[in-house]
Amino acid sequence: MKIAAVQMVSTPDVDRNLQAASRLVAEAASKGAGLVVLPEYFCLMGRRDDDKLRVAEAAGDGPIQQTLSEAARRHGVWLVGGTLPLRSANAAQALNSCHVWAPDGSPAARYDKIHLFAFDNGRESYDEGRVLQAGSTPVALQAGALRVGLSICYDLRFPELYRSLMSPPCDLICVPAAFTYTTGRAHWELLLRARAVENQCYVIASAQGGTHENGRRTWGHSMVVDPWGEVLAVLPEGEGVVMADFDPARLAEVRTQLPALAHRRQFAC
Handedness of CA 224, 229, 231, 235 (dihedral sign): positive
Distance (Å, whole) CA 102 – CA 234 = 25
Distance (Å, whole) CA 113 – CA 246 = 25
Return the active site residues: 40, 113, 153
SS3 139: coil
Distance (Å, whole) CA 189 – CA 264 = 24
Distance (Å, whole) CA 258 – CA 269 = 27
Distance (Å, whole) CA 4 – CA 244 = 7
